[in-house]
Structure formats: C-alpha cells, structure tokens
Amino acid sequence: MTPTAPYEQEIRAAAAHVGRRRFLTVTGAAAALAFTTNLPAAGAAQAAEADARKLTENPFTLGVASGDPQPGSVVLWTRLAPRPYEGGGGMPDARVPVRWEVAYDEKFTRLAGRGRADAHPEFNHSVHIEPTGLAPDRVYYYRFRAGSWISPVGRTRTAPARGAHLSRLKLAAVSCQAYHDGYFTAYRHLAEEDLDVVFHLGDYLYEYPVDAAGGARRYTDRTLPDRFHRETVTLEDYRLRYALYKSDPDLQAAHAAHPFIVTWDDHEVENNYASDISEDDLPPAEFLIRRAAAYRAYWENQPLRRPQRPHGPDARLYRRLHYGQLAQFDILDTRQYRSDQAYGDGWHAPGPESDDPRRTLTGATQERWLIDGWRQSTARWNVLPQQVAFSERRNATGPGYQVSMDAWDGYPASRARVLAGAESAGVDNLVVLTGDVHVHYAFDIKKDFADPASRTAGVEFVTTSIASGKDGADKPANWGTYMAANPHLKFYNGRRGYVTVTLDRDTARGDYRTVSAVTTPGAPVRTAASFVTEAGDPGLKPA
Ligand code: FE
Ligand code: CA
C-alpha cells in the first residue's frame, strides 16, 4: 500500500479528536512537519515513471524488511535512498513507482503476488506493502524494483490460521542497538537462526551524536558525515539516523531473514521521556514537535501497518497478534501514555510518590485493552512483548535498597493492576519479554515480590542489548548483589546478544545467546544459559 491521505489532513483530523491543549500541541507539530514535507504534485504518474527511469544509482541501500505477520498477510518494507547519508536520500522530490513481488521460492519462479505502489517523498520514499491472500504459516520471498534496480531478496513467514493447533513456535527478542557502541554481530548470528519471528523491544536507534569513526566501531576505512555528530531533534535528523542504522549489513541480514514485530522504547525519541514530558522538562508543546518527528521517522523505517502510522505526535503502536491457538502477543507501548517518573527518575527507594495508585505506565485505555484481550484469549501462552523490566529489581540486600523509577518498579500500582487483571482473566501461562537494561535476566514473576513464597504469576525473559554498553562481561560488578537481593532472579549476564524463546504445548524455553565482543567485528555466539517453564506450573528451571 502507499499513503494516500495528505499528512496535514491527518493532523487536522487528529486535532479534531483531542482537547484544546492537545490541539495546540498537535498544530505546533503540524507546522513543524509541514515545513519539511510538501504535498505531492497532482497527476504526476507519468512524470514519476520517468523519474524512476532516471534513477542512475542503486536506491536499495537500506535493505528490505517484513513485519507484523497475520495469517494471510505480512508487511513488506523498503526505502529508496541512493545516497542514504544525504537529506532526501538522493531521491527526486517526486513520487517514484516501485514494483513488488512475493514468491514461493527464492528464485521467484512461482509468484504468490505482485503489485505496484508509489514511494512518496512525504514519507521519505519508504514503501509499506500489505499484500493479502497469502497462505497462513508459510515462508515467502519478496523483492522490489524501482527503475532498472532490483532490491535484495527478503524471506518472511505469515502467521498460522487463528484456529491452528501448531505444535511449535520459535521467536527471538532483541533490543538496544547503540550503533556507536559496537558492531551488530548479534544480528549476523540471529539471521542464521531458525525462527518464525523476531520481536524488537525498543531502542532501535539512539539520539546521541555519532562521531566520524562510528564511536566504538573505530572505523578506519570510512568517515561518517558530520551530520551524525549531533543529537537527533528534527525530522531530517531522525530520518538520517535511521539511514545510518539501516545501512548496517548485519541489521539488513536479520531483517532479510525474518519478519519483525517492533515496538519502541525511549531512545527512538529521547532518553527516558514520559508521555509529553522530555528528559529536561521542555515545555510539552515543544517536546511534542520532536516526538512527532521521531514517531514519523520510526513508522517510515519499520515494517508497520497503516493503523500504526502516526497522527502528529500520536501513534497507536500497541497491538495484538495471534499465532494460532499457541500464542497471543499483546505488544505494549509503555512510553507514550505513562505518568512522569517518580522522584525525578533514576534509582530511588520506593515511597509514597512512586506508590501513588493514580500512576500508570500503560495509560488507562491500553491497560483496559490488555486485560479485556486476556479475557478473550484462548491461547496456550499469553506473551507480553514490552520495554522495561517488569519484575522487581532491588540494587541492595536488606532495607535501604533502591529500584529503577523508569521501569515497572517505579509504577507498582500499575504493575499490580496488570497482574490482578491477568489472574482474573485466567491467564495461567504469562510470558513477559523485556529489553531496555542491556543485560540478560531471567525472572519468576511473583504475585508479591517481597515474599518469595508467594504465587509465581508467570516468567520474564529479559534480553540484553544488541550493542548498547559495548562488550560487557558475563558477571558485571553488581552480579552477586543483584542475585542475593532478588531471589526471583534466576539468571543475570552482562554480555551483548539476544534471547530465543521456543513455545510448544507443554513448555516455554528461553535460550540466552551472547557474543564475546562487539567493539571488534566477527565474534562468535554461544548459549550462556537455558531455562524452561511448564504450562500450568509457572516458574523457571534450568534446561
Ligand atoms: Fe537501551
Ligand atoms: Ca531504553
């Protein structure tokens, strides 16, 4: 599909549904974006074909991707950018037709679908195709053509039919890929895994400056342009930063190998923002202009469907996907609707401010949607891909400990409502997938974290970062303290990597994959630990 509604109309439509204060901020965002996104010239199809023929350089520099699998459909993505590190990507300021093909085989001898769509300059010449009529639970191959250029081939997989009793599903969870902290070696290994789908749990990019040597990558064979050496603020900043990240060959390999289901955390906009409150407490109207730019660039660069397309500074990213009768995925957005961090953020002892029952991490609407969805769930496993640590994490034994005000620990009433909702909905097999913290953790989720004897309500697999935090260590300095202070913490590892989770009727198994280094390319991957939990009897055991 291609965008058809002019962006300004969307903003006006969105503004009509919000209150006066929100209207003002949305209008501000509209003004900022209108400056950089002009509307397409009318009736330019022939000119566009001509423009496509004029593409003298390969526009497929950012790879291909697929995502949000449904039983008969999966989103296909690419973006045209012959000179990816330039504003506009080296594309003409005109829409350019792109042809796409889906095939049963890698050589495209048997096609399952084909079509044409326009890549619009308003969306930075990104292309989001939502083909329909594909078969459920099936591997497909896809590619694009613009002018005489043909993209790399991507492999993807549709979701099984809603009623299907599939016997096994293998997914991976990834997060936190600070380009300037190291190579995406973990992605190279992820591309080789046998997976149905990959969940990206946030921090797909970081807003911080990247120097000419690519930070810890210490490039000697290339120099990154100055425009990356500043914090991302404007729409062009964010678009260019996606271009930098998307040009990474290991990231491209992972996207070309598996469909992704993505959600964002903070750094796609700004470190530790909360709703319309920025890290440095800018006026909300000003911060929402930045958020609008960041959300828009995110959608443009991810294999997301139309309902996820932002309207000014708002986007409906939380959503539900099903894999037959085996798994229901409720993908959360814990940034856009949250209360501000208590006690000014950071680590703090729990107290009346963080315990305030009015505080929320999800917002009331998303919380209701989640619990209602659980009530209707018939899935064996209810999986919650989300951003920040769900289980309690004390940083010291005994009284006087602190917890992170940015994670669910800073929103205990919100966590209690979600756990009570899961219990009342009869969710027996809850699996939470988490990113953000740049280390691997395995947790039993306790009904009362202060009481190790209390009921185990589910399990949490926390994936370490792809690159953030540089090489790391198997046992970080606080390893002994954390293990002692948190009896429900079953595993802690501070290397880079990802988690794979294999679900079948009886068990969920997590494999914690680590790479030995990211500041040098080519490190091998290993499994640092494996855990299983049994359906009907939650609690992690070494596998
Ligand atoms: Fe991160
Ligand atoms: Ca984060």
Query: What's the 141 CA to ligand 2 centre distance in angstroms?
Result: 33
Lowest mean pLDDT among 1-15, 92-106, 285-299, 324-338: 1-15
Flag whether 306 is in a domain. Answer: no
Flag whether 372 is in a domain. Answer: yes
Flag whether 271 is in a domain. Answer: yes
Query: What's the 182 CA to ligand 1 centre distance in angstroms?
Result: 13
pLDDT in the model for residue 284: 97
Residues 181 and 232 in one domain: yes
Query: What's the 175 CA to ligand 1 centre distance in angstroms?
Result: 7
Domain finish residue from 94, 125, 157: 157
Structure tokens at 233: 């603020």
Domain finish residue from 157, 181, 212: 157
pLDDT in the model for residue 18: 38
Question: What average pLDDT score do residues 426-445 get?
Answer: 98
Residues 122 and 268 in one domain: no
Query: What's the 436 CA to ligand 2 centre distance in angstroms?
Result: 4
In SS3 terms, 162-187 reads as CCCCCCEEEEEEECCCCHHHCCCHHH
Cα–Cα distance measured from residue 262 to residue 284, given in angstroms and rounded to the nearest whole number: 26
Q: Which ligand is nearest to the CA of 204?
A: 1
**In a 3-state reduction of DSSP, which class is residue 315?**
coil
Query: What's the 371 CA to ligand 1 centre distance in angstroms?
Result: 27
Q: Which ligand is nearest to the CA of 263?
A: 2
Cα–Cα distance measured from residue 315 to residue 188, given in angstroms and rounded to the nearest whole number: 31
Residues 391 and 490 in one domain: yes
Query: What's the 388 CA to ligand 1 centre distance in angstroms?
Result: 10
Structure tokens at 369: 């949607």
Flag whether 64 is in a domain. Answer: yes
pLDDT in the model for residue 518: 98
CA distances from 382 to 320, 322, 425, 486 (A): 11, 10, 11, 24
User: For residue 437, how many C-alpha atoms fall within 13 Å in the half-sphere facing its CB?
Assistant: 26
Residues 199 and 226 in one domain: yes
Q: Which ligand is nearest to the CA of 465?
A: 1
Query: What's the 267 CA to ligand 1 centre distance in angstroms?
Result: 7
pLDDT in the model for residue 324: 98
Q: How many domains does the chain have?
A: 3
Q: With 0-12 CB in 10 A as exposed, 13-18 as middle and 19+ as buried, what is 307?
A: exposed
Residues 464 and 403 in one domain: yes
Domain finish residue from 112, 130, 157: 157
pLDDT > 70: what percent of the chain?
Answer: 90
Q: What is the pLDDT of residues 216-265, one digit of tens each?
A: 999 999 999 999 999 999 999 999 999 999 999 999 999 999 999 999 99
Residues 118 and 244 in one domain: no
Residues 413 and 537 in one domain: yes
Residues 38 and 56 in one domain: no
Q: Are 197 and 157 in contact (CB under 8 A)?
A: yes
User: What average pLDDT is seen over the chain?
Assistant: 92
pLDDT in the model for residue 542: 98
Q: Which ligand is nearest to the CA of 266?
A: 2
Q: What is the pLDDT of residues 369-397, one digit of tens each?
A: 999 999 999 999 999 999 999 999 999 99
Flag whether 499 is in a domain. Answer: yes
Residues 340 and 206 in one domain: yes
CATH number of the structural domain spanning residue 99: 2.60.40.380
State which residues form the domain around 116: 52-157
Query: What's the 424 CA to ligand 1 centre distance in angstroms?
Result: 33
Query: What's the 473 CA to ligand 1 centre distance in angstroms?
Result: 17
CATH number of the structural domain spanning residue 510: 3.60.21.70
Cα–Cα distance measured from residue 37 to residue 159, given in angstroms and rounded to the nearest whole number: 35
pLDDT band at 48 (very low <50, low <70, confident <90, very high): low
Residues 267 and 142 in one domain: no
Q: What is the pLDDT of residues 132-190, one digit of tens each?
A: 999 999 999 999 999 999 999 999 999 999 999 999 999 999 999 999 999 999 999 99
Q: Which ligand is nearest to the CA of 179?
A: 1
Residues 377 and 437 in one domain: yes
pLDDT in the model for residue 54: 81
Flag whether 66 is in a domain. Answer: yes
Q: Which ligand is nearest to the CA of 388?
A: 2
Query: What's the 278 CA to ligand 2 centre distance in angstroms?
Result: 14
Residue 513 has pLDDT above 60, yes or no: yes
Residues 243 and 111 in one domain: no
Residue 16 has pLDDT above 90, yes or no: no
For residue 106, give the amino acid letter.
Answer: E
Query: What's the 207 CA to ligand 2 centre distance in angstroms?
Result: 11
Smallest Cα–Cα separation from 414: which of 333, 358, 460?
A: 358
Flag whether 514 is in a domain. Answer: yes
C-alpha angle 387-388-393 in degrees, rounded to nearest 5: 155
Flag whether 285 is in a domain. Answer: no
Query: What's the 238 CA to ligand 2 centre distance in angstroms?
Result: 17
Query: What's the 460 CA to ligand 2 centre distance in angstroms?
Result: 17
User: For residue 224, how many C-alpha atoms fall within 13 Å in the half-sphere facing its CB?
Assistant: 24
Cα–Cα distance measured from residue 305 to residue 129, given in angstroms and rounded to the nearest whole number: 8
